[in-house]
Chain A
């Protein structure tokens, strides 16, 4: 078994990925969009249906595998990255996907998340981030903003939130991107890029919870507010945003800053040109922190994508090297190795 997924000419449609189960998310939930974009993108990847495996933990997001007609495993709270890691190591020719939420992956499963990133296990990890606990009916989550009033924080949450893209970059993930449930085209593009990445791909999806956190991302998704609050990261392109495409991002020391391109002081040449393949994670880290800044637009797109030997590649290489040096293991010689003696 090689650490390679054979890409073939396969005729599949989005229907082939729909299971016979009724989808049971709340009407209007952002998860429907994610499911639809996955089912639209998967047929394009050239991977046979039986080679896909979806692993999830617990939460609304984690019902995802039931709705995909692939191999699927709805596991326990927070552990999906660890279970997916075991599956990928055991069976390297599978395309292994993790569906998780901000409670599942950022809280109870935080440890597994950072270590899967660190080890560069070849998993595609999707974080459905709605900044709230949905399935347990509305408590604040590790990505909820400070001061949030919920059932478990009636006087406002006093927690500082995680920024999942910063966390992934800090844990050395080799692919880090962000998209939004209400931008299907962009999401499809990000899913495809994540799928084609060799190594761990982390995709954060801002996803609206209609019941407990409705509108959390509307400033980033609605036509009139989006252009001034969101910025698209395009590889090799200067960072421009705004309704009139008249605003840009420059770097002053380590601080990103918004400048007006019509003011005469700054031109396009002064702006940050996004390089997603930069070996150093520093710039990507700075960009990811724009998310938390009230005066800066929130970036969408690929923050970072680099090629580094995956866990599986290294493991297979080591097994091959040791096997070459020692010869293929023979159980009888292992049994009879070491200091032995005969009794007649």
Chain B
């Protein structure tokens, strides 16, 4: 422990903070700034925005609260943290919503100016929690954030509304002081962001610095903390969200395949950001089409795929339901499209801004008839980049529709990403049919892929469609044996993809008492739980699935070598059901469908429960 300005600096290895306030308080921005600065200082980090579905719910209410959780560390980390060490609550509603998740003896910084009678009522507080003993288990710092911001900015000439809005920078300043962060990255960002409004540059700069100096000079904070840089592999990094990684991955796939990227999409939370990012990349020749509905989103993509583009549609759960029939058309016409489903809480409209893994069955089986397609799942924000490329590669190589599942948590969450150069990534080998002498629409190559003959190619005029086609010739066929053959061929082709994907590598021993099988966005939580269980002396192995249909070839062999198979999922046991029916194995389910990531602590407890406490 060192001392600076009379205040001790404590070294921590691992901190979780939560910024929370009204939807209009700028908490997402504040959290993002803290993340970027923290990433810049070399910490590993992971974030979880938690915002309401309402754009501006009535101010002061609990359902209008917007939160941003951030976990940073000097070690390798995988989750946004179970429980915050520090909560910044800009109003009573924010305190009410998150106080229950703060660690025992954790710190709570509140904006005392917002704790008036009206706001306390709106948050359903019967008495002021700052005045009774309900917060006695925490270090509470009541700070006049609003009034001190107003005082600091009184000479700027800013409108009162803009002055009050700057209070989030004051709060950020306090946090920068508390965690010994550099102000420079945020000051630079303010200059760029408000380049056209010098008065806002001045206002926000003063607010940020005032918050920082307040931390330094005020007598209320007893300690400040330092989190050393993490030991990450060398390289150039940036902080990336799953949706941005998905979008960039698609552009990279268009470069690797030398095809024009086409996106047909209808806005839907939490997938819209992929459309937003790709709409910006016009100078890459990317064509984005904001369709009239979800069905037109996928239908136009099927048209673009017929026309020889790398065609993608993006959506979330209810949108995937609407795309179902058209997905079947892509199956029977064997056109390469990529369907990206950023899963959210369901059924129906469900929890639009919350995360879930409950669309696995829909992705696997949610179409009429025997309708197999490839299903992939991304497991972390940066992994979305790799899986977007994989989805495109497989679709083009096998002439098959691919569903890529991500989820609200990894789509909006961020983590540091070691950026690859494009030449580190293998080029695709897709090609178009051009030879009229050998062309038959449903002839197949060694991968069972049919030829891709693009309109405009002389001599290859042909017709495809949703009616069953005769093998090889592609003529409409009602022949019973042909239909049986085509159903088998379509399934066999999807299963053949297994020859083209990496085998699973077990984290831990290859055999033993317990294997955890996860898929998609729970990888971080499961990894952390396994690390913590091992620290407690428990022996547990783990595999994580990015490829679900088909499964990696060695999955069955791995499963058979363990006494127990635990399958944690944010659904009611969908992968578990598939594993049971595919491999006839017994699985132990762990399911929590709360619209939130699973908790490391809970999975660790489940491991301990299965292993009987310890297994030495």
- What residue of chain A has the Cβ atom nearest to residue B310's Cβ? A90
Interface string of B200-244 (1 = CB under 8 A from A): 000000000000000000000000000001001111111100000
**B460 with A50: CB separation less than 8 A:** yes
B410 to chain A, nearest CB (A): 18
- CB of A73 within 8 A of chain B? yes
In A7-59, the 8 Å CB interface with B consists of 19, 21, 48-53, 55, 58
CA distance A124 to B418 in the complex (A): 49
CA distance A247 to B295 in the complex (A): 48
**B299 with A79: CB separation less than 8 A:** yes
**B457 with A50: CB separation less than 8 A:** yes
Assess A329 versus B285: contact at CB under 8 Å? Given A51-B455, A76-B326, A344-B234: yes
- CB of A267 within 8 A of chain B? no
In A60-87, the 8 Å CB interface with B consists of 65-66, 69-76, 79, 82-87
- Which residues of chain B come closer than 8 Å to A70, judged between CB atoms? 461
Which among B39, B287, B301, B463 is the interface contact of A315 at CB below 8 angstroms? B287
Q: Interface size of A by Cβ–Cβ distance < 8 Å?
A: 58
CA distance A85 to B281 in the complex (A): 21
**A335 with B419: CB separation less than 8 A:** yes
Chain A interface residues toward B at CB < 8 A: 19, 21, 48-53, 55, 58, 65-66, 69-76, 79, 82-91, 93-94, 111-112, 115, 315, 318-319, 322-323, 325-329, 331-332, 334-336, 338-344
CA distance A84 to B289 in the complex (A): 13
**B295 with A94: CB separation less than 8 A:** no
- What residue of chain B has the Cβ atom nearest to residue A315's Cβ? B287
B114 to chain A, nearest CB (A): 31
- Which residues of chain A come closer than 8 Å to B465, judged between CB atoms? 65-66, 72-75
New A-B pairs, 4, CB < 8 Å, besides A66-B463, A343-B42: A50-B461, A90-B304, A331-B252, A340-B419
In B301-347, the 8 Å CB interface with A consists of 301-309, 311, 325-326, 328-329, 333
- Which residues of chain A come closer than 8 Å to B232, judged between CB atoms? 343
Which among A93, A112, A315, A343 is the interface contact of B234 at CB below 8 angstroms? A343
CA distance A73 to B464 in the complex (A): 5
Which among B229, B292, B454 is the interface contact of A115 at CB below 8 angstroms? B292
**B283 with A71: CB separation less than 8 A:** no
25 of the cross-chain contacts (CB-CB < 8 Å) are A71-B455, A71-B462, A71-B463, A72-B463, A73-B463, A74-B463, A74-B467, A75-B466, A82-B295, A85-B289, A86-B264, A87-B306, A87-B307, A87-B455, A90-B307, A91-B308, A111-B293, A328-B284, A334-B248, A336-B238, A339-B36, A339-B40, A339-B238, A340-B419, A342-B235
**B463 with A340: CB separation less than 8 A:** no
Interface residues on chain B, size class: 35 or more
- Which residues of chain B come closer than 8 Å to A315, judged between CB atoms? 287
Which among B237, B264, B303, B457 is the interface contact of A340 at CB below 8 angstroms? B237
- What residue of chain B has the Cβ atom nearest to residue A1's Cβ? B260
**A89 with B304: CB separation less than 8 A:** yes
**A86 with B301: CB separation less than 8 A:** yes
CA distance A329 to B278 in the complex (A): 12
- CB of B46 within 8 A of chain A? no
Which among B234, B311, B421 is the interface contact of A335 at CB below 8 angstroms? B421
- What residue of chain B has the Cβ atom nearest to residue A78's Cβ? B295
Assess A336 versus B236: contact at CB under 8 Å? Given A21-B475, A74-B463, A90-B304: yes
- What residue of chain A has the Cβ atom nearest to residue B422's Cβ? A331
CA distance A323 to B281 in the complex (A): 9
Assess A322 versus B282: contact at CB under 8 Å? Given A72-B462, A331-B422: yes
- CB of B291 within 8 A of chain A? yes
Which among B42, B248, B296 is the interface contact of A341 at CB below 8 angstroms? B42
Assess A85 versus B282: contact at CB under 8 Å? Given A91-B454, A339-B238: no
**B284 with A91: CB separation less than 8 A:** no
- CB of B100 within 8 A of chain A? no
Most chain B CB inside 10 Å of its own CB: which residue of A51, A75, A115, A338: A75
In B258-296, the 8 Å CB interface with A consists of 260, 262, 264, 281-285, 287, 289, 291-293, 295-296
Which among A73, A86, A329 is the interface contact of B284 at CB below 8 angstroms? A329
**B463 with A82: CB separation less than 8 A:** no
